[in-house]
Structure 1
């Protein structure tokens, strides 16, 4: 009986920002070169959920809405054919922590240089900075405006 050989895995963080979409394109191209797979990871948190004043929230509904939105975004960014090669992972938690856990054992972790938050003139966002300092695999940071259409 032959043992199944694990394919290289590339993890990419997506958050709806232009630089995360550029990172997604980069990760897909890199995984294709390696003969590997792509895990597109999006972290979500509900603001205020940990405090006493947290509003009553239907977590299942919010999670399903987030999953549907992620699927739509991946299809819009990659196209319906290419999206089939990406495994979407929606994980509840802090973005940096979620990405670091997802990237354990991966060939590379790919992130955009800046996400949806932060200061426009910052070179790196807080998540990209944190994962470069703590990841157990190589980290690739893709700047906004990277040309995604050259496969």
Structure 2
């Protein structure tokens, strides 16, 4: 794997990783779509210092959120691909809010793949804040993966509001 994606324009497919089951599935989808979309695949994870750390409640001097992010990224890649990651797989570990990091990473990308919700958030929401921000602001098309539970929470066709279109 190559960590040279930081600070450079990323072509190909960017995958948002947070260690959740949906981010494992997103990596698998990237490998399926790479022949059609083009590569390479870049697995991206964001990290931040917790707000409490700024106020002096730092967990320990040895703790590193960046190292934790790298470990989560590595474990998620291993879970998705085992011993056979896609050729040319790149990684990006960046400091900042997840949505900002992913949106910046997509400026030259062909596709962004994210899960509908990560490890945080509220159950029952169809789209988390990161996936919603990416869908609205990414510099490329965005594929948002949902869990089977998401489809159970979705309104039925009869309960959904009718679609309307506007013409100029």
* 2:85 paired with 1:82: yes
Partners of 2:43 and 2:92 within 8 A in 1: yes
| 1:25 match | 28
Q: Secondary structure at the match of 1:32?
A: helix
Q: 1:138 offset after TM fit, Å?
A: 0.7
Residues 65, 114 of structure 1: CA spacing in aligned structure 2 closer, same or farther, 3 A cutoff? Answer: closer
Structure possessing the higher radius of gyration over alpha carbons:
2
Bigger mean CA deviation after superposition, 121-130 or 41-50 = 41-50
Q: Distance in 1 between matches of 2:106 and 2:54?
A: 30
Residue number among 104, 108, 119 corresponding to 1:105 in the alignment: 108
* 2:40 paired with 1:37: yes
Aligned residue pairs: how many?
Answer: 139
- Over the residues paired in the alignment, what is the CA RMSD in angstroms? 2.3
Q: Which has the higher contact order (CA 8 A, sep 6+)?
A: 1
Q: Distance in 1 between matches of 2:126 and 2:58?
A: 35
Residues 143, 90 of structure 1: CA spacing in aligned structure 2 closer, same or farther, 3 A cutoff? Answer: same
Q: Distance in 2 between matches of 1:60 and 1:52?
A: 16
**TM-score scaled by structure 1?**
0.80
Unaligned 5+ segments in structure 2 are 1-9, 149-168
Bigger mean CA deviation after superposition, 77-86 or 11-20 = 77-86
